[in-house]
């Protein structure tokens, strides 16, 4: 059983929902990212989503775009991100790590070389934002051969037919984008999210995580009863941006914020 499957199984047995924070690898530095990853777990994160810096992140709002720019300015590459995961695994062999990024760096490395390196580093899932399922069969196959779950996005505009196609390809969990827009938007419509999750669950038994509109403990508490996982990105990355130059303040703030999210999710009557 993969780490992702084991995580959701354990949470389900405990009647809990997953907290999945997103950070950009290499922001504010690779060394600090490693400390942030461990702090996130200490504060109650169940799965870590690690952004691979990319020059043209089409799905990301300005906060995460700036994080990618800062990491790229330091020369952070896909191989550096894999090394970061390898270093994380020296202390944590339990917490699932999902890489979220874009196809170009993977294609440059080559599917087989990337999958082998990701497996060796301890990566559990890969979400390539700009890889449509119609073109993903080769990468899916290679990832699965290396024990890595291909994770896919679904959007409010995704049709039933396409939901079914993606559900057949996905492993680990499905990431539902809760709104029309980019990360960091704040127009969360809980009724619409609930209706779409019901439609998705007609096609899959995989866990479904919700992201792109979770900004604080209150919004996390609204989504938790509907989903299997609450995914938080821009609200966390904005704190890294604000306090990246003050590491003595950054980690305590991350621990406080993620602790609030954890408490809100656990208290939401799920």
Average pLDDT over residues 26-44: 98
- For residues 48, 240, 265, 151, the Cα torsion angle rounded to the nearest 10 degrees is -30
pLDDT tens-digit map of 84-99:
999 999 999 999 999 9
Residue 189: predicted pLDDT: 76
Q: What six digits make up the tokens of 227?
A: 């989903």
Helices 160-169, 190-201: crossing angle, 10 deg rounding: 60
Whether 190 has a pLDDT exceeding 90, the answer reads no
Residue 91: predicted pLDDT: 98
Closest by CA position to 25, among listed 97, 90, 94: 97
Average pLDDT over residues 131-151: 94
The model's pTM is: 0.94
Please say whether the beta carbons of 222 and 238 come within 8 A.
no
The confidence band for 180, taking pLDDT boundaries of 50, 70 and 90, is low
Task: Give the Cα separation of 149 and 197 in Å (integer).
Answer: 21
Catalytic residue among 49, 140, 228, 241: 49
Task: Calculate the average pLDDT of the chain.
Answer: 93
Average pLDDT over residues 204-230: 94
Residue 48: predicted pLDDT: 98
CATH code given to domain 3-266:
3.20.20.70
Residue 182: predicted pLDDT: 47
Whether 181 has a pLDDT exceeding 70, the answer reads no
Give catalytic status of residue 60 as yes or no.
yes
Q: What six digits make up the tokens of 98?
A: 């999902």
Catalytic residue among 60, 140, 228, 241: 60
Query: Taking the domains of the chain in order of start, what are their residue ranges?
Result: 3-266
The confidence band for 254, taking pLDDT boundaries of 50, 70 and 90, is very high
């Amino acid at each position: 059983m993969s780490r992702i499957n084991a995580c959701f199984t354990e949470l389900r047995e405990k009647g809990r929902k997953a907290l999945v924070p997103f950070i950009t690898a290499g922001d504010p530095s690779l060394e600090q990212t490693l400390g942030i990853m461990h702090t996130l777990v200490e504060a109650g994160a169940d799965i870590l989503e690690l952004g691979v810096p990319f020059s043209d992140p089409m799905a990301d709002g300005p906060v995460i775009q700036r994080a990618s720019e800062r990491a790229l300015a330091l020369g952070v590459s896909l191989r550096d991100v894999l090394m970061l995961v390898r270093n994380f695994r020296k202390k944590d062999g339990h917490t699932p790590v999902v890489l979220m990024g874009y196809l170009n760096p993977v294609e440059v490395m080559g599917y087989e070389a990337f999958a082998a390196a990701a497996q060796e580093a301890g990566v559990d899932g890969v979400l390539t934002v700009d890889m449509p399922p119609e073109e993903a069969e080769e990468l899916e196959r290679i990832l699965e051969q290396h024990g890595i779950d291909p994770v896919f996005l679904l959007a409010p505009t995704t049709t039933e037919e396409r939901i079914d196609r993606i559900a057949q390809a996905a492993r680990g969990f499905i990431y539902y984008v809760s709104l029309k827009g980019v990360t960091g938007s704040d127009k969360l419509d809980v009724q619409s999210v609930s209706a779409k999750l019901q439609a998705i669950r007609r096609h899959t038994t995989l866990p479904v995580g919700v992201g792109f509109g979770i900004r604080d403990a209150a919004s996390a508490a609204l989504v938790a009863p509907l989903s299997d996982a609450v995914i938080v990105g821009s609200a966390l990355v904005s704190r890294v941006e604000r306090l990246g130059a003050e590491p003595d303040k950054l980690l305590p703030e991350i621990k406080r914020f993620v602790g609030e999210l954890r408490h809100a999710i656990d208290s939401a009557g799920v």
